[in-house]
Structure 1
Amino acid sequence: MEHQKNERILEIFFRALKGEKISPKKLSEEYHVSTKSISRDVTEIQSFLTEHRELMQNAELTYSHRDKSYILTNDEFLKNKELFAIIEVLLGSRCFSKHEILNLISKLKNFSTIENRTSFDNLIRKEVYHYNEVKMDCHSLIDNLWRIVQAIEDKHIITISYFKMDRSEIKRKIKPLAIMFSEYYFYLIAYQEDDETFSPRYFRIDRIFSITENRNRFILAPEYDFDEGSLREKSQFMFPGEGIKVVFEFTGLSVQAILDRLPTAKITSKEGRTYTIEADVNNGRGLMMYLLSQGAWVKVLSPQSFVDEMKTEIEKMKRLYGEV
């Protein structure tokens, strides 16, 4: 008898943890016991939660008069607004396959209450239905990410098979350094095994279709250690390049959008609607693509080498439209 009671208490506790509403009336019918017995079970669970408050992260089994049930609340449960914010970012990234995104959403929802899950499903149903993943070559982006993370942690040299932008296949033996996310894609940043110049190489992780871990480990001297925080600050476009200080004028609608896009950017002067901005950035192809996307709102002032690159690119664009 005592064994059955203990099993029942554990079952009720587990059901509460899963977000189920604990109704003494319904449970008494299900377990064929009195409502008083269920109420005593609830009291024992409440006592356990009180005695182990720190272990259970301040969880409480409280009575809802509206639902006529007990509901488990926990500091670690995600509120709907928090869950919504996280999943909107995931959906907007489009970096995971539909199967992976559905699996992630399902697991995240387990950190919310059943009541909130229903409300939340209504908020994102259409977005999930119309979700379009970016095209990827790997079987599972999440599996790729985790294998690379482990190689980075263990400092294992790995061999990857990879599709380049032109869809040609290459194989590279590399020293994995860091993973970064930027605009729909995760990137692996690595040194090639035999590169004595220690020039970072960027690989889109969704284009890696094979990863082989080598037995050899690598050690980097402190001066060649990689700082992904600094890279994120100075390179928003995942194109490698030398660091430069670029100065340009901006006359567009939202200067704040420029400042947000280039974290190191600062306004040095303003005259009418013209802002002069300088930023420490990596002079890769991505920077040029971004500034050109602003059209006539941007005029690069320095360095002269970058001004010349912009002029050359603009001339090429003009020729596409039959102008010299």
Structure 2
Amino acid sequence: MKPKSSKNIRVLDIYARLCEGKSVNKAEDAKKFGVDARTIQRDIDDIRVFLDERQMGYAPDGRSVVYDRNDKGFIMAGSEGAMMSNSEILAVSKILLGSRAFTKKEINGILGKMINGCVPLKNMKLVKELISNEQFHYVELGHKTYIQDKLWHIGTNIKEHNLIEIKYSRGEHTGVVTRIIEPMAILFSEYYFYLNAFIVKPDKDGKYVHKYDYPAIFRIDRIKEYKELREKFQVSYADRFEEGEFRKRIQFMYSGHLMKIQLKFYGENPEPVLDRLPTARIVEEKEHQFTISAEVYGKGILMWLLSQGSRIEVIRPESLRQEMKKKVEEILKLYS
């Protein structure tokens, strides 16, 4: 028999093996640590008490130590409250990989930290294998810009209501413009992170005022430089910017005035329209024909409408209907 070990070492060793998904056999552990089986049982009971107390925490621990008759030993069942399940970590990993929002270096770092910090030890190998192929073939976007720190710094300025000055490039072959802005929200859509902000300019008294009555949208990877100005902007509770409501009404991150539109959908199931436009509602229904109303910001909606072909007809406003007609005619000319 081995020399008797300390209680702390025994309990930590048993707990670590249980967390790794291993089975604990009382007789084997008693021999391993130089104690009797009743002592090992008391150690297991101490771990059970510890887990029970964690049930009352901020992120309740759903784990418990149970006896497995097949393994003839004790195992850890359930999952830790702060941990993610196999399904959750796999879903989030797939979303991150599919978004292509980060450079390859960034995505590898994010996935590694997330798996190592949020996945139970016994599931790590499986999760890594399930995403390994897609992670290996991950294709980063052309701009190859590291944006994680930029996201945090801009987010801090949003929270603290700081005016910031940005140098912004509209594209690879265009110049850089300087803007002073009130940052409002960070959004993600179609591969890119965007900053919603009001462009401001000084009035005759030198006070900054909004240049437009709707926010501009800036791709964050195209913000070349930014600096915090020593000036705050005020936002009343009633006038606060609600990015969730804005997100419902924006398409492809094209800003502009708010429009009320009406469409006709020709088909059996209007679900694609209702899913794409969160503010959409059916106002009239006939056989294979649905009249739908919605609210949208700007002209980004045109890109999606054109992708629907003959299934969608714009009814109003008339200006949008005419613009849709003009775009269709321009497309037809390409094939004439």
Q: Which range, TM-score by smaller chain?
A: 0.7 to 0.9
Q: 1:79 aligns with which of 79, 82, 85?
A: 85
After superposition, the Cα gap between the structure-2 partners of 1:119 and 1:263, relative to the gap in structure 1 and judged at 3 Å, is same
Structure 1 counterpart of 2:112: 106
Three-state SS of the structure 2 residue aligned to 1:285 is coil
Q: CA deviation at 1:289?
A: 0.9
Show structure 1 runs of 5+ residues with no match.
Answer: none
Q: CA deviation at 1:14?
A: 5.7
CA distance in 1, matches of 2:231, 2:4: 58
Q: CA deviation at 1:200?
A: 0.6
CA distance in 2, matches of 1:132, 1:104: 15
Show structure 2 runs of 5+ residues with no match.
Answer: 202-208
Q: How does 1:22-61 map to 2 (within 5 A)?
A: 23=24, 33=34, 36=37, 40-55=42-57, 57-61=61-65
Q: CA deviation at 1:93?
A: 1.4
Q: How does 1:42-191 map to 2 (within 5 A)?
A: 42-55=44-57, 57-66=61-70, 68=73, 70-71=75-76, 73-76=78-81, 77-109=83-115, 110-139=117-146, 141-165=147-171, 167-168=173-174, 169-191=176-198
After superposition, the Cα gap between the structure-2 partners of 1:251 and 1:6, relative to the gap in structure 1 and judged at 3 Å, is same
User: 2:323 corresponds to which letter in structure 1?
Assistant: E
Structure 1 counterpart of 2:199: 192
User: 1:241 corresponds to which letter in structure 2?
Assistant: G
User: Identity across aligned pairs (percent)?
Assistant: 34
String of CA shifts for 1:231-263, please: whole Å, max 9, x gaps. 112223211121222112222565211110011
Three-state SS of the structure 2 residue aligned to 1:138 is coil
CA distance in 2, matches of 1:79, 1:51: 21
CA distance in 1, matches of 2:226, 2:68: 52
Higher mean Cα deviation, 36-45 or 188-197?
36-45
**Kept in 2: contact 1:24–1:35 (CA 8 A):** no
Please give the TM-score of this superposition, normalised by the length of structure 2. 0.80
Three-state SS of the structure 2 residue aligned to 1:88 is helix
Q: CA deviation at 1:161?
A: 3.0
Please give the TM-score of this superposition, normalised by the length of structure 1. 0.83
Three-state SS of the structure 1 residue aligned to 2:234 is coil
CA distance in 2, matches of 1:52, 1:256: 44
Q: CA deviation at 1:152?
A: 0.9
Q: 2:311 aligns with which of 261, 279, 297?
A: 297
Higher mean Cα deviation, 196-205 or 111-120?
111-120
Q: CA deviation at 1:60?
A: 2.6
CA distance in 2, matches of 1:150, 1:198: 24
Q: CA deviation at 1:198?
A: 4.3
Q: CA deviation at 1:84?
A: 2.1
Aligned-residue CA RMSD (Å): 3.2
**Kept in 2: contact 1:93–1:183 (CA 8 A):** yes
Say if 2:283 is the partner of 1:281. no
After superposition, the Cα gap between the structure-2 partners of 1:210 and 1:32, relative to the gap in structure 1 and judged at 3 Å, is farther
**Kept in 2: contact 1:162–1:207 (CA 8 A):** yes
